[in-house]
Amino acid sequence: MPIIYYFLLFITILLSGVSIFAFKKIQPRALKLMLSFSGAYLFALTVLHLIPEVYTAGKGTAGAFILLGFFIQILLEVFSEGIEHGHIHIHKKQNAAFPYGMMLGLCLHSFLEGMPLVQRFSESGTQTSLLTGIILHHIPVAIALMSMLLDSGIKKSSAIFYLTLFALMAPLGAFISNLFGQSGNDLSIYFNAMMAIVIGIFLHISTTILFESSEQHRFNYLKFFIILLGAGLAMIS
């Protein structure tokens, strides 16, 4: 995978998180719109590009691994508290205990998402589309994470450290996956399984974002436009 991809995965997350210092306070409406856009892009990318590719390359086991990824994400949310799709839980400063479980779940989630970014997908253009999807998804997540960390009462330097740790997880997953891919062994089954697992994760996250971003399930023209925009970008990518 090109070095620039590792850099983009890391720097976009880091800059998104620290941008909260410039805006002082997160705007829930803006965050929901960003989540809606990324959710629509992820959903369309998964249905239009990722699922067909993994079924074409797979040998009949893709469906089982997609289901596995879906249920893995359900388990990860027990630790991450649903921050992947915009849930922000503020812990009172006077009783603040650092949410290690949340960080663990979020880092594992990010690590798994980075693993399918392997060189063999670059020929079909899926690698670039997947990279874009991960970045778009992680931007609002990084903002939400930084907001939660600061509101929990920890120091700014500590918050930036944990944000940096989160930003490193997707590039690390991609690096390890590429490292195994260059070992000379036939790891196509492994790559297909990892892609299918991430597809399951994407399906869970994207549908949850789209279902939960509507207040009281009322139709919102701006949100609908943003969703169409995200899906349209995935169609042409």
State the Rg of the chain over Cα: 17
Is 193 strand, coil or helix? helix
What is the pLDDT confidence band of residue 216, given thresholds at 50, 70 and 90? low
C-beta atoms surrounding 23 within 10 Å:
11
Q: What is the largest CA-CA distance in the chain?
A: 54
> Residue 188: which residues within 8 A CB-CB, separation 6 or more?
57, 120
Q: d(Cα 12, Cα 213) in Å, to the nearest integer? A: 23
Element (H, E) at 35: helix 28-45
If one compares 125 and 225, the residue with the highest pLDDT of the two is 225
Query: HSE on the CB side for 166, CA within 13 Å?
Result: 33
At residue 225, the pLDDT reads 92
At residue 210, the pLDDT reads 84
Mean of per-residue pLDDT scores for the chain: 81
